[in-house]
């Protein structure tokens, strides 16, 4: 689809959506469990951990969910929600919010990063907004158990001696785990200079992004190369704990 057709398609969706809004009833005030329409499975997982009843727009099956383009049927899902939760980089949410005339106070932007301390901070911010701190407390306990297991696994294999070149999305996670980060690449395609610099550092491990791989030029077969995920969905993952367990398996940090 060329750029002109894409623009026409989106414009048509917005016009149809605006017409649908006129036919929809007003949204009721939310009860004990807030209803959230989440942009992606990632923001949805954060909102679910905070105690919300979540409806995800860009589903688990998408490899790069921010590219999702909303359809008119999504408008009702947005209008009926108590909150719209997004990460700030999903362009379709800006269009949907405008088309559905969602009030600013019902649109919540949350920071997305799967380093456990940042997960905890994001979930707490949502729980404070939703008034669901009991759900946050329960999740925090579950997350603490998983992070202890991760750190035990990292210590067992002495990750501090492993030289890593990492996709920038995972730098906070890899640093938190204690690896020796010798190079960071992304968000753009590695240049010849970047490739040369990474090779000069002689990393033992390349940590890349499954959703948009950039580190494949470093996958020479002479070192370990892994792809991690941001959004739940791949390999049967459905929530934040699943994603951390995926990291544990993929990085070989499983404890006995």
Are 161 and 240 in a shared domain? yes
Q: What is the pLDDT of residue 18?
A: 47
The average confidence (pLDDT) of the chain is: 90
Confidence class for position 8, pLDDT limits 50, 70, 90: very low
Q: What is the pLDDT of residue 29?
A: 45
Are 21 and 91 in a shared domain? yes
Residue 1 has pLDDT above 80, yes or no: no
Rg (CA), the chain: 20
Identify the domain boundary among 73, 101, 133.
133
Task: Mean pLDDT check: name the lowest of 8-12, 176-180, 236-240.
Answer: 8-12
Are 104 and 222 in a shared domain? no
Are 14 and 112 in a shared domain? yes
Are 55 and 96 in a shared domain? yes
Q: What percent of the chain has pLDDT over 70?
A: 88
Angle at 125 between CA 120 and CA 129, to 5 degrees: 145
Are 92 and 162 in a shared domain? no
Q: Report yes or no on 9 lying in a domain.
A: yes
Are 125 and 27 in a shared domain? yes
Q: Report yes or no on 141 lying in a domain.
A: no
Q: Report yes or no on 36 lying in a domain.
A: yes
Distance CA(191)–CA(152), nearest Å, equals: 36
CATH number, position 195: 3.40.50.1980
The residue to which tokens 């921010």 are assigned: 66
Query: Which contacts of 65-70 are long-range, i.e. CB under 8 A and separated by 24 or more positions?
Result: 65/39, 65/40, 65/41, 65/90, 65/231, 65/233, 66/39, 66/40, 66/90, 66/91, 66/92, 68/39, 68/40, 68/92, 69/9, 69/10, 69/13, 70/13, 70/17, 70/95, 70/96, 70/99
| pLDDT, tens digit (0-9, with 9 covering 90-100), for 55-79 | 999 999 999 999 999 988 899 999 9
* 20/58: higher pLDDT: 58
Q: Report yes or no on 146 lying in a domain.
A: no
Report CA dihedral (30, 34, 35, 37) to the nearest 10 degrees. Answer: 120
Q: What is the pLDDT of residue 122?
A: 98
Pair 205, 183: CB distance under 8 Å: no
Are 99 and 166 in a shared domain? no
Q: Report yes or no on 125 lying in a domain.
A: yes
The residue to which tokens 């939703």 are assigned: 130
Q: What is the pLDDT of residue 255?
A: 80
Angle at 217 between CA 161 and CA 221, to 5 degrees: 60
Q: What is the pLDDT of residue 180?
A: 98
Identify the domain boundary among 98, 133, 168.
133
Q: What is the pLDDT of residue 7?
A: 42
Number of folded domains in the chain?
2
Are 192 and 101 in a shared domain? no
Average pLDDT score over residue span 18-25: 44
Q: What is the pLDDT of residue 22?
A: 42
Average pLDDT score over residue span 157-179: 98
| pLDDT, tens digit (0-9, with 9 covering 90-100), for 151-162 | 999 999 999 999
Are 94 and 158 in a shared domain? no
Domain limits for position 26:
3-133
Confidence class for position 4, pLDDT limits 50, 70, 90: very low
Identify the domain boundary among 133, 166, 193.
133
Q: Report yes or no on 115 lying in a domain.
A: yes
| pLDDT, tens digit (0-9, with 9 covering 90-100), for 130-156 | 999 999 999 999 999 999 999 999 999
Pair 86, 43: CB distance under 8 Å: yes
Q: Report yes or no on 147 lying in a domain.
A: no
Q: Report yes or no on 140 lying in a domain.
A: no
Q: What percent of the chain has pLDDT over 90?
A: 83
Are 173 and 239 in a shared domain? yes
Q: Which has the closest alpha carbon to 37: 66, 10, 6, 77?
A: 77
pTM of the model: 0.88
CATH number, position 50: 3.40.50
| pLDDT, tens digit (0-9, with 9 covering 90-100), for 190-220 | 999 999 999 999 999 999 999 999 999 999 9
Are 125 and 158 in a shared domain? no
Q: What is the pLDDT of residue 31?
A: 55
Residue 6 has pLDDT above 80, yes or no: no
| pLDDT, tens digit (0-9, with 9 covering 90-100), for 87-140 | 999 999 999 999 999 999 999 999 999 999 999 999 999 999 999 999 999 999
């Amino acid at each position: 689809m060329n750029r002109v057709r894409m623009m026409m398609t989106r414009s048509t969706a917005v016009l149809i959506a605006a017409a649908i809004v006129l036919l929809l009833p007003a949204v009721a005030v939310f009860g004990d469990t807030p209803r959230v329409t989440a942009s992606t499975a990632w923001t949805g997982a954060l909102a679910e951990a905070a105690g919300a009843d979540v409806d995800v727009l860009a589903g688990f099956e998408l490899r790069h969910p921010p590219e999702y383009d909303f359809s008119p049927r999504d408008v009702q899902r947005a209008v009926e929600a108590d909150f719209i939760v997004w990460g700030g980089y999903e362009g379709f949410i800006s269009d949907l919010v405008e088309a559905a005339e969602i009030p600013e106070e019902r649109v919540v932007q949350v920071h997305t990063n799967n380093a456990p301390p940042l997960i905890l901070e994001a979930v707490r911010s949502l729980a404070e907004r939703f008034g669901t701190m009991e759900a946050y407390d329960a999740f925090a306990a579950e997350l603490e158990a998983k992070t202890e297991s991760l750190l035990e696994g990292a210590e067992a294999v002495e990750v501090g001696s492993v030289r890593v070149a990492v996709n920038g999305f995972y730098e906070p996670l890899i640093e938190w785990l204690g690896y020796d980060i010798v190079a960071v690449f992304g968000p753009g395609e590695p240049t010849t200079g970047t490739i040369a610099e990474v090779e000069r550092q002689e990393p033992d491990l390349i940590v890349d992004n499954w959703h948009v791989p950039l580190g494949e030029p470093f996958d020479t077969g002479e070192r370990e190369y892994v792809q991690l995920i941001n959004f739940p969905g791949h390999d049967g993952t459905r929530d934040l704990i699943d994603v951390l367990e995926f990291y544990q398996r993929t990085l070989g940090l499983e404890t006995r």
